[in-house]
Amino acid sequence: AQSVTQLGSHVSVSEGALVLLRCNYSSSVPPYLFWYVQYPNQGLQLLLKYTTGATLVKGINGFEAEFKKSETSFHLTKPSAHMSDAAEYFCAVTNTGNQFYFGTGTSLTVIP
């Protein structure tokens, strides 16, 4: 079975500071991993995905994530936070193509 744990339901950073959102997964087979962002009153939007190949994945809006198999992690980072990054972020895992398992989400607040 697959599962996702997002450490920290709320993260606050200052504008211009590093953003680090943590995601650990549990999977019996090599996973496919995703990060989604959700703005208020909207659906989820894909930020980036890892399937195979390079373990450092670059996504939209300057975000990137690194797949670390030894740590079963897929943390999301952005070097410099912008006010527009304030949103809810979800990590998700799938390995069969049948089910996407989502974490409970991390709410990012950016302080001016």
Partner 1 sequence: EAGVAQSPRYKIIEKRQSVAFWCNPISGHATLYWYQQILGQGPKLLIQFQNNGVVDDSQLPKDRFSAERLKGVDSTLKIQPAKLEDSAVYLCASSYNANSPLHFGNGTRLTVT
The residue written with tokens 């895992």 in the block is 93
Cβ 75 to partner 1 shortest distance, Å? 17
To the nearest 10°, report the CA torsion of 34, 31, 21, 83.
-10
Cβ 60 to partner 1 shortest distance, Å? 12
Cβ 43 to partner 1 shortest distance, Å? 3
Q: Provide the binding-site residues for partner 1, judged by CB under 8 A.
A: 4, 9, 32, 34, 36, 41-46, 49, 51, 90, 92, 94, 96-100, 102-105
